[in-house]
Amino acid sequence: MNDQCVLIAGGGPVGLICAYALGRAGVPVVVFDENDELQEDPRAATTHPATLELLDQIDVVDEVAARGLTARTFQFWDRPTGELVAEFDHDLLRDDTKFPYVVQCEQFKLCEIIKSRVDQLAGCDYHFSHRVTAVRTESDRVIVTVDTPDGPAEHAGRYLIGCDGGRSLVRKQAGIKFDGFTWPERFLVLSTQFDFEANRGMCYRNYVADPDEWCNCFKVAGDGPPGIWRTVYPVDPEAPEDELLADAFTQQKLQAFFPIDEPYDIIHRNLYNVHQRVAATFRKGRVLLAGDAAHVNNSIGGMGLNGGIQDAINLAEKLARVWHGEADESALDLYDLQRRTYAVEFVQQQTIQNKKRLETKDPETRRQSMDELRATAEDPKRAREFLLGSSMIAAMRRAGKMQLAAK
Ligand SMILES: Cc1cc2nc3c(=O)[nH]c(=O)nc-3n(C[C@H](O)[C@H](O)[C@H](O)COP(=O)(O)OP(=O)(O)OC[C@H]3O[C@@H](n4cnc5c(N)ncnc54)[C@H](O)[C@@H]3O)c2cc1C
């Protein structure tokens, strides 16, 4: 069995970026994905400045921007009063980053872009309809069992990266815990072509706070103009799924937030369970974790895939140096240190805080929170600090400077 490659379980956005970044660095990779084609996944869209900088490093940022929408601003609204509380403009970061804006590009488009690059790279093999079912490690290699259309097969590699999503089999087989919690409510995502900018004065990214039921409202490019608006709501965990996705409920949800005289044209409707969890380690010997396999969080603030892309680029850079004999394996511990600290101390805290800000029930806490947002947005110095956080720049750069303690 040839083991002169890095194996990647899961060829979603994070697995693809790992493969592409490693392949470009001259490391042979083999990717296994259980699906028979790329999924038209309506999940992630927001790509933050910190991540755009990394996509620039691998020369894909222009293509991602061309297929998405550029959004310079985002807004906070208060539902009970209908007030636009605060607007933040990324242009305040023009001296901090080459990308003072976010790009709203659906994750399936990112996958298509990277997959076409991967297909052109020698030494980069991507296999659809290959489900990894077991992992075992030997002293100098990792062996995976894979269900293929021709039956089970074994493949060996020097390392294995688990990019196989929140339910990661690789993480489970490596015996790595995934502690954290699951929110009681589910998130309902409803997409429509109704124009919230023209009719409601919203920008391309909006957060609506409400003590009973908050909402997020975003624009994505879809198949081109006029684009698609996605709205997100918390819904009752006990209610049956078919009821939550039925016309009666979905129409009522949209009409309650944004009343119009006719029924909404609802293009997509999806329900998600929402978790906050981080793997106990991102490295166990020759097994590494990246993306949702390593960390999951609620989608308010759009940080999940951004964190995964950042993992992929960080890991690929270190693993390539190990592969070429330019670094020892402690570089992989450094990956764990930098990216796990970032996930625990930044992404988890930030996304939990983002959710609490929108759902807080206590009137006094709500008032303080809205006042704080308003005052922050009105003061350019404070607004820049806020944006360095929301755009993931400050924390990613801070984590990138961490070093292992001397032994
Ligand atoms: C409603 C919603 C909105 C979101 N919005 C944003 C956003 O705006 N910005 C953002 O940054 N993030 C966002 N996220 C999070 C984002 O979607 C995830 O973080 C992202 O999909 C993680 O990518 P991944 O490649 O790690 O995992 P996945 O996308 O889950 O991909 C895993 C892949 O592995 C494959 N696989 C699984 N098991 C196996 C196996 N055993 N063998 C072989 N293949 C396997 C799967 O088929 C899949 O292709 C959102 C999430 C939701 C639910």
CATH number of the domain to which 148 belongs: 3.50.50.60
Instruction: Name the residue with the closest Cα to ligand 1, atom 4.
Output: 44
Domain-embedded: residue 59 = yes
Which atom of ligand 1 is nearest the CA belonging to 290? Answer: 26
Domain count, the chain: 1
Structure-block tokens of residue 247: 């016309």
Assigned domain for 254 exists: no
Classify residue 229: in a domain, yes or no: no
Name the residue with the closest Cα to ligand 1, atom 18: 305
Name the closest-CA residue to atom 20, ligand 1. 305
Q: Is residue 293 part of a domain?
A: yes
* 90 inside domain: no
Q: Is residue 330 part of a domain?
A: yes
**Domain assignment of residue 370, yes or no:** no
Mean pLDDT of 231-236: 96
Cα distances (angstroms) measured from residue 299 to each of 108, 199, 223, 272: 17, 25, 23, 10
Domain enclosing residue 169, as ranges:
6-68+105-180+276-357
Q: Name the DSSP class of 406.
A: P
- How many angstroms separate the alpha carbon of residue 136 from the centre of ligand 1? 24
- Whole-number Å distance, alpha carbon 114 to ligand 1 midpoint, is 15
Burial class (CB in 10 A: 0-12, 13-18, 19+), 279: buried
- Mind listing the pLDDT tens digit for each residue in 351-389? 999 999 999 999 999 999 999 999 999 999 999 999 999
The yes-or-no verdict on residue 42 having pLDDT over 80 is: no
| Within a domain: 387 | no
Query: Is the whole-model pTM more than 0.85?
Result: yes
Model confidence at 41: pLDDT above 90? no
